[in-house]
Amino acid sequence: MQLTQPAITRRIQNLEHDLGVELLDRNTKPLKPTVIGLRVYKQCLAILREMENLRELVASDRLPSGMLRIGVPQTLSDAVLPHAFKQLKAAYPDLNTQVSTDWGSHLLSGIEKDELDAAVAFFPSRKVFSGSVVANSLGSMNLLVVCAKDQAPKRPCRLVDCYQNGWVLNPDGCGFRSSLQHTLMEQGLELRVNLETFGVELQLGLVADGLGLGLVPGPLLERSAHYERLAVVSLKDFKPTIDLWLLQPRFLGNLQGPVDFFRKLIGQTLNFL
* Residue 47 clears pLDDT 70, i.e. is over it: yes
pLDDT for 60 = 57
CB atoms near residue 230 (< 10 Å):
22
Preceding peptide of 64 cis, ω within 30°:
no
Q: Output the average pLDDT for the chain.
A: 87
3-class secondary-structure state, position 210: coil
Domain coordinates of the chain in residue numbers? 5-58, 65-273
Q: What is the pLDDT of residues 230-263, one digit of tens each?
A: 999 999 888 888 888 999 998 887 888 899 999 8
CB atoms near residue 110 (< 10 Å):
21
Report the alpha-carbon distance of residue 110 to residue 163 in Å, rounded: 35
In CATH, 5-58 is 3.40.50.1970: no
- What are all long-range contacts of 87-93, with beta carbons under 8 Å and residues at least 24 apart? 87/261, 87/265, 88/258, 88/261, 88/262, 88/265, 91/258, 91/261, 92/64, 92/68, 92/257, 92/258, 92/261
Q: What is the pLDDT of residues 5-25, one digit of tens each?
A: 999 999 999 999 999 999 999
Q: Is 67 exposed, middle or buried (0-12, 13-18, 19+ CB in 10 A)?
A: exposed
In CATH, 65-273 is 1.20.1070.10: no
Angle at 206 between CA 144 and CA 199, to 5 degrees: 70
pLDDT for 273 = 45
